[in-house]
Amino acid sequence: MKNPGTPIAWPLRLWFAVEVFFGVGAVLSIGLQPADTRTNFAWPVQPVVMAAVLGAYYISSALLFLLPLFARRWEMIRVMILPTALFSTAELLATVLHWSKFSVGTLPFTAWFLSYLLPPPIFFGFYLWQERRARQLASPLPAEPLPPEARSALLHWGGLLTALAIIVFVIPQILIANAPWAMTPLTARAFDAWLLAAGTLMLSMARENDRTRVLFGVPMLLLMFPAVTLQIARFPDQVNFANTALFVIYGFMLVAFVLGVYLSRGDWRRAFQ
């Protein structure tokens, strides 16, 4: 078969363009100007290093939405669909739970709210639709399974991070009491949603179990460590560098970085065919 795989539906491709628009807005506001969240973000985030770290995760996830714009096959982007839907659901729940903390009625809040209200039904819906279409077309891609040790690492570290993220989301006081900088229930849950995104992305990559089909998840694994480090370095006076939780967070990001380096050696050209 010349071009095995399932074509990406044009409405889903169009939605990725919308996601890029939302992402660019987040990077330009909280990523580059974390001290100005009172006017340029959905709520005033304090301390500034907290805003900077949230911005770092937006920066690290940018390629996760940009690359699918250039992909041709559903199987190549599937790895990031469910993690994105779960992340958006977590941020939406955090918004509902802490509604009074937001700058409701402002343009930044409207952009924030729409960017998390719309993705869950869109991504869950398209996942089910595209998977059914893939089965109907019966056009599987050639498989190149991940090395067993890499898949095992993705399963174990992704599962551990996902479980930890779920616990912290339900009981944010665990993170608040041990955080390397001041956190509120809202900022703890907003931050924790990114941990959930990273954990479920690793689990999704393990589930795909293919050197090429995991590639679109690799950039986020690679970028979290340097992006967070650079953002923290901007406000070192606000961080407790002796904090144990900081070492735990960095430990997960370092593991993700190493896995990203290892997995980046897949066939990128085939991923875009």
The answer to the question of residue 4 being in a domain is: no
Q: Which residue has the tokens 């955080």?
A: 179
The answer to whether residue 5 sits within a structural domain is no
- Specify if 3 maps to a domain: no
In a domain? residue 145: yes
Higher pLDDT, residue 216 or 141:
216
Residue 2 has pLDDT above 60, yes or no: no
| pLDDT confidence of residue 143 | 77
- Selection from 169, 154, 198 nearest residue 61 by Cα: 198
Residue 1, domain member (yes or no) = no
For residue 1, what pLDDT is reported? 43
What is the Cα–Cα distance from 146 to 157, expressed in whole angstroms? 16
Question: Rounded CA gap, 87 and 14, in Å?
Answer: 20
User: How many domains are there within the chain?
Assistant: 1
Q: What would the mean pLDDT of 159-183 be, rounded to a whole number?
A: 96
- In 3D, which of 201, 246, 221, 207 has the Cα closest to residue 87? 201
Query: Is 90 exceeded by the pLDDT of residue 266?
Result: no
Q: Is the pLDDT of residue 230 over 80?
A: yes
Return the higher-pLDDT residue of 9 and 273: 9
> In the block, which residue shows the tokens 């340097």?
226
In which domain, by residue range, is 68 found?
Answer: 10-271
In one letter, which amino acid is 12?
A: L
